[in-house]
Amino acid sequence: MRKIAVLNQKGGVGKTTTVVNIAAAMAAHGFRVLVIDLDPQAHLTIHLGVDAEQPGCGAYQILSGQAGVHDAAVKVRSNLWILGAGIELVGAETELVNEVGREIILRQAIAQVENDFDYMIIDCPPSLGLLTLNALAASEEVIIPVQPHFLALQGFSRLLQTIALVNNRINPALHVTAILMCMFDARTSLSAEVRQDIEKFLTGSRNQNSPWAGAQIVPVHIRRNIKLAEAPSYGKSIFEYEPSCHGAADYLAVAEFVHTGKIEGNFDIQLDTASEPAVEAAEAQPASDTTVPTAPADNVPVETPAPSETSPDVENTVVETAYSNSPASPDTQEGK
């Protein structure tokens, strides 16, 4: 099982959007995927159409030792399970403060299901507290989404220090694999400047023995796309909500990159047949669960994207096209 934490302690940079859509692409490609919502805001849970107000929901059950992964996970799509964030997660950091081994509770629970999933992807809260430490202790890879705006890299060194500390003390397998530029706007020179700054930093780190020495900037950027901002309120991934938009093409390319380390446009996906996302209790053995059958005749094939980076001019054109269909201005979609 590949174990990935999607982390940046800055708020609103695209973590949840990235987890939802990479996980959805992986699941629709045929991998068994477990996503974990460690953010008490429960955006991932809500985005996948699960009721976050429901007591006894997911991740908290694991952290408080009340349940194992198979009991607490909920199946939300074919091949896709979630350990959701319920209301109780808000108090989890305080409750766990006196627990011995509090940073590795999630890791121990995940070890029990090592062979039952192909991917575990964790959505971290925008902080570097105990929930994030649990995510880093349970993962081997970190993907850092970055929104290229003023002060984008402020706090970056603290983030890397935290990763280095966890790597050094409790999880030597942990390393940063990728930095993903989200809400990229090729019309602004700032986007290109932030990317250059990160590139320069990574180049300078190559020969160091740090957990980010092998990190790469994902060669496809997630462009600003209003459909990505609209999809959460429908409880849908971008592939279910608007499979032909740029957001879907970008995230499909990122999923291919995460899986293969390159982008060739070969990452085909097949969506569930049900028009409404299926939410059902997890069976004892997710790996063998076939309760959401796929019927190829009704499946929606999604076009694979053009490989990798487009030139700035091309990006400008497509971003403007995306917005020209939208009643809202790009700025209103930035969220927090």
Ligand X SMILES: Nc1ncnc2c1ncn2[C@@H]1O[C@H](COP(=O)(O)OP(=O)(O)OP(=O)(O)O)[C@@H](O)[C@H]1O
Select from 183, 198, 238, 269 the one that contacts ligand X (CB under 6 A).
183
Contact present, 183 and 147 (Cβ < 8 Å) = yes
What gap in Å lies between CA 159 and CA 282, rounded to an integer? Answer: 34
Identify the residue among 78, 139, 177, 225 touching ligand X (CB under 6 A).
225
Q: Pick from 30, 68, 126, 219 the residue near ligand X by CB under 6 A.
A: 126
Q: Is 96 in the site for ligand X (CB under 6 A)?
A: no
CA of 281: how far to CAs of 66, 234, 295, in Å?
Answer: 17, 21, 22
182 binds ligand X (CB under 6 A): yes
Asked if 43 interacts with ligand X (CB under 6 A), we say yes
The option from ligand X, Mg ion, none interacting with 333 (CB < 5 to 8 A, set by class) reads ligand X
Tokens describing residue 87: 């209301």
Strands (E) located in 16-73: 33-37
* Residue 16 binding Mg ion, by CB under 5 A: yes
Tokens of 113: 């299901």
Q: Tell whether residue 106 is a contact of ligand X (CB under 6 A).
A: no
CA–CA distance, 234 with 49 (Å, rounded to integer): 8
Query: Can residue 14 be called a binding residue for ligand X (CB under 6 A)?
Result: yes
Output 32 or 227, the one with its CB closest to ligand X: 227
- Contact between 30 and ligand X per CB under 6 A: no
Stretch that binds ligand X, among 64-72, 108-116, 228-236, 278-286 (CB under 6 A): 228-236
DSSP secondary structure string, 154-173?
TTHHHHHHHHHHHHHHT-TT
2 φ, ψ (degrees, to nearest 5) = -80, 135
CB of residue 314 vs ligand X: minimum separation in angstroms?
17
Residues touching Mg ion, count (CB under 5 A): 3
Which residues have CB under 8 Å from 93's CB, separation 6+?
129, 130, 131
Return residues touching ligand X (CB under 6 A).
Answer: 11-17, 39, 41, 43, 126, 182-183, 222, 224-225, 228-229, 232, 247, 333, 335-336
